[in-house]
């Protein structure tokens, strides 16, 4: 990469502060066209303060469980026989406490606390069924755990719903000249040819584009985006404008591969999923892993540039995900009606004329 490359953070959540002066598309835009390695701003300080409080609570309870398991058993009304188990739970508490202090933004550690709370509640429920159970004390302990669980969930949700969106990155080598690869991407209207979830991208002037996509579960989403920086042959970054259904930002960099063996394309993409963290979790359940999705999109990008269109097999007529595979046999016409992308319909053979003039390769 060039030595004058600048790096910085690039936070899609700030798109609301965009004004027209930022609509420059040249190198003079002295900023942040890189999202590589960028970590967007920390979430609200109150969630972080709460997380630290929960961290100290974890450490305290963990130490108590580890060092005085009998006292804990007494207070919570469970049998003294379970001191070994209580010590183990103490270790777990200590681990999540340390996890919270070890991370700048302890989202995972707080979610781990939520999982631990669930385990505690189950254990108390089981203890309640024992013949020698002291039900009053167990009920009191359960109420306490429930209170802490509520705090944990609130804190975890706040951390998850913060500015940190879903980040995906992928790269590929395209066996075509850098200029051609850059130009193809720079015309955003080409993107739906290889990005499976995009339906259309439309130029609306002043460097702005209107994007339409299919979200998880087939929900239609729309947003407008602007180009943040555009250095021909090097990098393009864009981000969504105010009132977007899905806040997002992306950067694509182009680099000549060593030895003149084509063009390396690296994409970083970040978005706020619909319905926040819950939406992201549901999307993952349906096999929409963001890195994988971007990786597959880039594979199709390479196919369009190198062979002229997106390549399909019988098994991948309805998509390349594990859940979308159909048997490797021809599809009946009725089955094809549901296909999201049939190259013979969507792709116009991009390289057609050129390949003819190139002649057969062998």
Partner 1 sequence: MKANCWYGKTTLSVEDVPDPQILNQRDAIVKISSTAICGSDLHLYNGLIPTMQRGDILGHEFMGEVVEVGREVSNLKIGDRVVVPFPIACGNCFFCKEQMFSLCENSNPNAWMAEKMFGHAASGLFGYSHLTGGYAGGQAEYARVPFADVGPIKVPDHLTDEQVLFLSDIFPTGYMGAEMCDIKPGDTIAIWGCGPVGQFSIRSALLLGAERVIAIDEVPERLKMAEDGGAETINYREESVYERLMDMTGGRGPDACIDDVGMEAHAPAIINAYDRVKQAMMLETDRPHALREAIMCCRNGGVVSVIGVYGGLIDKFPIGSVMQRSLTIRTGQAHVQRYMRPLLQMIENGDIDPSFVVTHTMSLDDAPHAYDIFKNKEDNCIKVVLKPDWNGNGAAKDDNYPVIH
* Shortest spacing between CB 118 and partner 1, in angstroms: 31
Range in contact with partner 1 (rule: CB under 8 A) among 55-63, 205-213, 244-252, 339-347: 339-347
Greatest CA span in the chain, whole angstroms?
A: 87
Kindly report the length of the chain.
Answer: 362
CB of 338 to partner 1, least distance (A): 15
Count of residues binding partner 1 (CB under 8 A)?
A: 42
Q: Is 361 in the site for partner 1 (CB under 8 A)?
A: yes
Residue 243 contacts partner 1 per CB under 8 A: no
To partner 1, the closest distance from the beta carbon of 239 in angstroms equals 28
Q: b/e string for 109-123 if b means 16 or more Cβ within 10 A?
A: bbbbbbebbeebeeb
| Subset of residues 266 to 305 that bind partner 1, contact rule: CB under 8 A | 292, 295-296, 299, 302-303
208-214 and 263-271 beta bridge pairing: unpaired
Give the chain's end-to-end CA distance (angstroms, integer).
Answer: 34
Using the rule CB under 8 A, which residue among 19, 206, 328, 357 binds partner 1?
Answer: 328
- Is 196 an interacting residue with respect to partner 1 (CB under 8 A)? no
Which of 5, 16, 74, 175 binds partner 1 (CB under 8 A)? It is: 175
Tokens representing 53 are: 């409080």
Candidates 330, 337, 338, 357; binder of partner 1 (CB under 8 A) is 330
How many helical (H) and strand (E) elements, i.e. helices and strands, does the chain have?
Answer: 11, 7
- Options 130, 133, 173, 275; binder of partner 1; rule CB under 8 A: 173
One DSSP character per residue, 261-288 reads --EEEEEEEEE--TTHHHHHHHHHHTT-
Task: List binders of partner 1 among 308-327 (CB under 8 A).
Answer: 308-309, 311-317, 320, 322, 325-327
State which residue, 216 or 319, has the beta carbon closest to partner 1: 319
Query: Are residues 319 and 196 in contact, defined by beta-carbon separation less than 8 angstroms?
Result: yes
Token pair for residue 210? 């209107």
Place of tokens 């385990």: 119
Q: Which of 141, 163, 152 is nearest to 53 (CA)?
A: 152
- Residue 357 in the binding site for partner 1 (CB under 8 A): no
Q: How far apart are CA 100 and CA 51, in angstroms?
A: 7
Nearer to partner 1, 190 or 292 (CB): 292
- Rounded Cα distance between 111 and 130, Å, is 30
Indicate which single residue of 20, 84, 356, 357 sits in contact with partner 1 (rule: CB under 8 A): 356
Q: Identify the residue among 261, 278, 281, 346 touching partner 1 (CB under 8 A).
A: 261
Q: Give how far Cα 135 sits from Cα of 78, 120, 132, 145, 184, Å.
A: 9, 16, 9, 15, 69
* Closer by beta carbon to partner 1, 275 or else 315: 315
- For the bound state, the minimum distance from the C-beta of residue 311 to partner 1, rounded and expressed in Å, comes to 6
Task: Name the residues that contact partner 1, by CB under 8 A.
Answer: 173, 175, 261-262, 292, 295-296, 299, 302-303, 306-309, 311-317, 320, 322, 325-333, 342-344, 349, 352, 355-356, 360-362
């Amino acid at each position: 990469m060039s030595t004058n490359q600048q790096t910085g953070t690039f936070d899609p959540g700030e798109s609301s502060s965009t004004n027209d002066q930022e609509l420059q598309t040249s190198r003079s835009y002295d900023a942040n066209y890189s999202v590589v390695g960028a970590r967007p701003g920390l979430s609200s300080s109150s969630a972080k303060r709460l997380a630290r409080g929960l961290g100290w609570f974890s450490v305290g309870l963990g130490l108590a469980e580890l060092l005085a398991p009998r006292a804990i058993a007494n207070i919570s009304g469970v049998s003294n026989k379970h001191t070994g188990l209580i010590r183990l739970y103490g270790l777990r508490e200590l681990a999540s406490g340390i996890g919270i202090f070890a991370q700048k933004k302890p989202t995972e550690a707080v979610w781990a606390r939520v999982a631990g709370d669930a385990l505690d509640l189950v254990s108390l429920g089981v203890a309640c069924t024992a013949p020698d159970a002291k039900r009053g004390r167990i009920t009191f302990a359960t109420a306490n755990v429930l209170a802490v669980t509520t705090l944990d969930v609130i804190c975890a949700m706040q951390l998850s719903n913060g500015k940190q969106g879903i980040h995906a990155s992928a790269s590929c080598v395209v066996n075509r000249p850098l200029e051609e690869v850059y130009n193809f991407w720079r015309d955003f209207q080409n993107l739906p040819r290889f990005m499976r979830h995009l339906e259309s991208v439309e130029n609306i002037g002043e460097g702005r584009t209107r994007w339409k996509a299919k979200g998880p579960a087939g929900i239609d989403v729309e947003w407008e985006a602007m180009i943040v920086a555009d250095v021909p042959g090097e990098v393009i970054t864009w981000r969504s404008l105010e009132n977007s259904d899905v806040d997002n930002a992306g950067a694509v960099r182009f680099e000549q591969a060593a030895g003149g063996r084509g063009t390396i394309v690296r994409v970083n993409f970040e978005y706020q999923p619909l319905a926040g963290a819950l939406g992201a979790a549901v999307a993952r359940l349906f096999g929409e892993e963001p890195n994988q999705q971007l990786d597959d999109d880039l594979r199709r990008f390479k196919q369009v540039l190198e062979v002229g269109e997106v390549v399909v097999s019988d098994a991948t007529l309805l998509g390349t995900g594990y859940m979308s595979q159909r048997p490797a046999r021809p599809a009946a016409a009725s089955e094809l009606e549901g296909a999201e992308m049939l190259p013979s319909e969507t792709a116009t053979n991009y390289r057609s004329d050129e390949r003819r003039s190139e002649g057969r390769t062998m």
